[in-house]
Amino acid sequence: MSVRGVRGAITVEVNEEQPILQATAELLNLIVSANHILPEDIASVFVTVTGDLDATFPARAIRAMAGWDLVPLMCALEVPVKGSLAMCIRLMVMVNTDKSQQEIEHVYLGGAKALRPDLSKA
């Protein structure tokens, strides 16, 4: 069994608590569903936000999900590169799995599809 990173990102329209929490939950639920992940298989989740999203901690949405209360979570600010995508939440889900790198499905939603068009579903 290996530890694999599953990437994902989503954008929000406004810097408000509920849209941030809803977007975080939507993104994680799609990552979990696409990769058939159970919370007990998660080593950790690293969450970053762009500096323009400071209304809440996105990890609160994950903590509220059934079975995710013991999963280690960490939030941080994304590197503020000029001209980079704004209003963006990114997840790096570290999962214990027998899947190969090629079998992992990364999830990019909304404006975040521009980050990795090669990995974004049409």
Distance, in Å, from the CA atom of 49 to the CA atom of 80, rounded to the nearest integer, reads 10
From the candidates 17, 75, 103, 105, give the one annotated as an active-site residue. 75
- Is residue 90 part of the annotated active site? The answer reads yes
Tell me: is residue 4 an annotated ligand-binding position: no
Tell me: is residue 90 an annotated ligand-binding position: yes
Tokens 């590197």 found at:
79
Q: Give the pLDDT confidence score for residue 121 in this predicted structure.
A: 65
- Is residue 60 part of the annotated active site? The answer reads no
User: SS3 string of 18-36?
Assistant: HHHHHHHHHHHHHHHHHHC
Q: Give the pLDDT confidence score for residue 1 in this predicted structure.
A: 85
Distance, in Å, from the CA atom of 88 to the CA atom of 36, rounded to the nearest integer, reads 24
- Is residue 63 part of the annotated active site? The answer reads yes
Which domains, ranges and CATH numbers included, belong to the chain? 2-115 (3.30.1330.40)
Each residue's pLDDT expressed in tens, for the chain with a length of 122 residues: 899 999 999 999 999 999 999 999 999 999 999 999 999 999 999 999 999 999 999 999 999 999 999 999 999 999 999 999 999 999 999 999 999 999 999 999 999 998 887 876 64
Distance, in Å, from the CA atom of 90 to the CA atom of 109, rounded to the nearest integer, reads 10
Q: Give the pLDDT confidence score for residue 116 in this predicted structure.
A: 85
Tell me: is residue 7 an annotated ligand-binding position: yes
